[in-house]
Amino acid sequence: MHGDETVGREILLHLIDFLVTNYRRDPVVTRLLNNTRIHIMPTMNPDGFEATKVPDCYYSHGRYNKNGEDLNRNFPDVFESNNVTIQPETQAVMNWIKNETFVLSANLHGGALVASYTFDNGNSVTGSLKGYSRSPDDDVFIHLAKTYSFNHASMYKGAGCDNRQPFPEGITNGYSWYPLEGGMQDYNYVWGQCFEITLELSCCKYPPEDQLEQFWRDNKVALIEYIKQVHLGIKGQVTDKNGNPIPNAIVEAKGRPHVCPYRTNEHGEYFLLLLPGVYVINATVPGFKSMLKTVEVPNNAGNFSALKCDFSFSEVSIRTRAASCPKTPLYQELERTSAAGKPTLHLFVLMTIMLVIFK
């Protein structure tokens, strides 16, 4: 994302080469590619990379794009009104996210050694008053971050960089590290229905060329194991009485409502990352009665196939209209609703006390 943070760019090029040269040679790579649709974007900010004339471990103008904007502060924010001009690179990625059914992703950075997970921003609704911004899928995100950290050569040690802030087990909640407005991982999770974490891969943002091969070796296993996690949880298709796919049906696990409900794609497909356990899956076609199914989700990541669970609405024979969440701070509305309820509660307590006194 940042042009002067070069390690991620380099190891993604290595990853592409590793995957294509080991297909039909390595059984794990072969099964992974046979069962997984993988998209790789080696750089989001090529202009920033070209502008980095003097490599520096800590800072350079190459962090920003040609217009001087930080792309990881440039996305719509789910908590605050992010008053920035959306950059061409950001818009291109937003269009990409909208037009693909991404399920799991990571964005790569440098300057620290840690796997950071959503939320990067927060408010009282997500627990920010306690210094942690919790998503409905916090357990899954912790698992994803640990999967990368513990398969990395040293990230799991959590030592930090130059005796700076340590990260126990090599992971951190983004907000706990520092609040960030307009980040890509929160946008992708809320509006893209894609679980994304941020990977900080090197203490030095732009290390010497002779160190790049070692960075690849340090990250190779972690990258493959992380990609496998896309097969966690449950997937399926929602169809009508004629077997036609129903797009825009809401499918979510009970107790895990997303502020922007997760919906089926144009093929009626849905994907939910869930840890092994028993869940009630709720499928809803607007205007019709919901369908509930209780499922036991196994750990299928190693089998390269999530549990399949389809829904058929026998009374539905129409295609639902497109539905999308507005690009407004959705959690801002929840916070207002939560705050609005507090005076009522206080008034109720006060009235109760007064009644007791009068009695």
Dig out the tokens for 136 from the structure.
């409905």
- Tell how strand 307-308 and strand 234-240 pair up: parallel
Query: Residue 358, Cβ neighbours under 10 Å: how many?
Result: 6
Residue 50 CA to residue 135 CA, distance in Å, equals 36
**3-state class (DSSP) for residue 91:** helix
Q: What angle do CA 44, 50, 56 make, to 5 degrees?
A: 95
Q: Reduced to 3 DSSP states, what percent helix, strand and coil does the chain have, rounded to the nearest 5?
A: 40, 15, 45
Active site annotation includes 333 = no
Report the C-alpha gap between 276 and 264 in whole angstroms: 22
**Catalytic-labelled residue, pool 69, 181, 200, 252:** 200
The SS3 assignment for 201 reads strand
Are the CB atoms for 191 and 260 separated by under 8 Å? yes
- Spatial neighbors of 5 by CB under 8 A, at least 6 apart, are 63, 108, 109, 110, 111, 202, 205, 206
Look up residue 205 and give its DSSP letter: S
Helix axes 212-228, 27-35, angle to 10 degrees: 60
CA atoms within 13 A on the CB side of 90: 23
The DSSP code for 182 is: S
| Residues marked as catalytic | 200
